[in-house]
Amino acid sequence: MIREDLRSRRIAVVADFVVNPGSALYGRRQAPPTDFVDVLMERGWGIMKMPPHVAKFESCERLIEVSVGDLVDYRKNGYDVVIAAVGDLPQQGVWLDAMASCYARLRKDMPPVVTISSDASASDADALETALTSAA
Amino acid sequence: MQAEPRRVAYVAHCLMNQNAKVSEFAKCAGVFSPLVERLVKNGYELQQLPCPEMSHMGAIRWWAAREQYDTPGYRRHCRNLAKGVVDLVTMHQDAGYDVVIVGLDGSPSSGVRLTSTKTSWGGRPEGAVHGGSDRRSGMGVWMEELKFEFEERGLEFPRATGVAMDAQDFDLQKAMVELDEFLTGDKEDAA
């Protein structure tokens, strides 16, 4: 018997900051939660949350590398991927430069990158949908 | 008045991204919202563990039992990931956080209380068509290597539980009652 599989086949790469804006890790930058992640959840996006951008790079390097490897494999198999880069955070909150280096090493193109702000809301989630449409 | 302790949950990757599941095991589109909503309601921040199965065998991997993942090579892969995770957990603990782990019970890798077994699997893959793997108590390979990394650094493995979404008899209501007990501390270390 084949089991029903409900995956959406689309993944949003998001910053720790937009998932945990009130985290103590962010000190004076702490912010109230927004509805951005809730909207992604409601719309069926799978979330790949990158390590906090305030962590030491050495701790995150391997995690970033395997995340990029996963994203390459998803796209190879027809899944949609969008990176939600936070314009007003270092490394755009998603370790974007490190991700780009990994893509370059693998000789693969980056997926669409949408720039959102650290107080992203539902309209920013719309921008992720638009990026997929444009990339299609 | 004492401030509420800060809390963070490190959750199995697929609980926030069902696209990482092996074929036929995705029970929702993307994020498993009953879990995330409970964590947020109970004041937990969210951290997502990597999925070593996905990075090892990819999105179109075959079904596999714990015995097939229990190799030195796969354990080495898990251990490499565990080093970064334990660094991040330590960062949270240093910032005053209470850390818990929520794995995926029934999984050959991410199970905490329950994992999979099928000693007859291997070789020609169609054997799996005639029935899935069985479940037995114990940790999956990834959780075990994560625990070993904590232990080798002289650190205590955080309080942990698993959501049994990979068990054939998964009961959502029962699982959420258990999770509520765990999150509110009524049920100590389920691991």
pLDDT in tens, A66-90: 999 999 999 999 999 999 999 999 9
Contacts of B36-44 with CB under 8 Å at 24 or more apart are B36/A41, B38/B176, B38/B179, B38/B180, B38/B183, B39/B9, B39/B11, B39/B102, B39/B183, B42/B7, B42/B183, B42/B184, B43/B4, B43/B7, B44/B7, B44/B8, B44/B9, B44/B100, B44/B183
- Measure in Å the smallest separation between the Cα of A40 and chain B Cα atoms: 9
pTM of this structure? 0.96
Report CB contact under 8 Å: A3, B21. Answer: no
What's the mean pLDDT in A14-24? 97
- Measure in Å the smallest separation between the Cα of B181 and chain A Cα atoms: 23
Contact list, A63 vs chain B (CB under 8 Å)? 50, 81, 84-85
Mean pLDDT of chain A: 95
Q: If you measure CA to CA, which chain A residue comes closest to B19?
A: A7
Q: Does A19 touch chain B (CB under 8 A)?
A: yes
Please report the pLDDT score of residue A132 as a whole number. 86
Contact list, A20 vs chain B (CB under 8 Å)? 8, 45-46
pLDDT in tens, B109-163: 999 999 999 999 998 877 666 778 899 999 999 999 999 999 999 999 999 999 9
How many CB contacts within 8 angstroms connect chain A with chain B? Answer: 122
> At residue B179, what are phi and psi to the nearest 5 degrees?
-65, -40
Report CB contact under 8 Å: A46, B84. Answer: no
Q: CB-based burial of residue B187 (10 Å sphere; 0-12 exposed, 13-18 middle, 19+ buried)?
A: middle
Q: Which of A63, A65, A72, A77 to mutate to test the interface with B (most CBs of B within 10 A)?
A: A63
Predicted confidence (pLDDT) at residue B190 exceeds the cutoff of 50:
no
Range of lowest pLDDT (A14-23, A101-110, B122-131, B150-159):
B122-131
Report CB contact under 8 Å: B18, A23. Answer: no
Contact list, A22 vs chain B (CB under 8 Å)? 45
Four-point Cα dihedral B167, B172, B175, B181, nearest 10: 170
Two tokens, residue B132: 């899935």
Q: If you measure CA to CA, which chain B residue comes closest to A60?
A: B84
Contact list, A74 vs chain B (CB under 8 Å)? 19, 59
Nearest by Cα to B69 from B133, B140, B13, B2: B140
Distance CA B37, CA B172 (A): 14
- DSSP per-residue string spanning A57-81: HHHHHHHHHHHHHHHHHHHHTT-EE
Predicted confidence (pLDDT) at residue A104 exceeds the cutoff of 50:
yes
Nearest by Cα to B50 from B23, B13, B85, B21: B13
Element (H, E) at B98: strand B97-104
Q: If you measure CA to CA, which chain B residue comes closest to A23?
A: B45
pLDDT in tens, B3-25: 778 999 999 999 999 999 999 99
- Measure in Å the smallest separation between the Cα of A39 and chain B Cα atoms: 11
Q: What Rg do the C-alpha atoms of chain A give, in angstroms?
A: 15
Q: Does A1 touch chain B (CB under 8 A)?
A: no
Predicted confidence (pLDDT) at residue B189 exceeds the cutoff of 80:
no
> At residue B44, what are phi and psi to the nearest 5 degrees?
-90, 135
Distance CA B42, CA B7 (A): 9
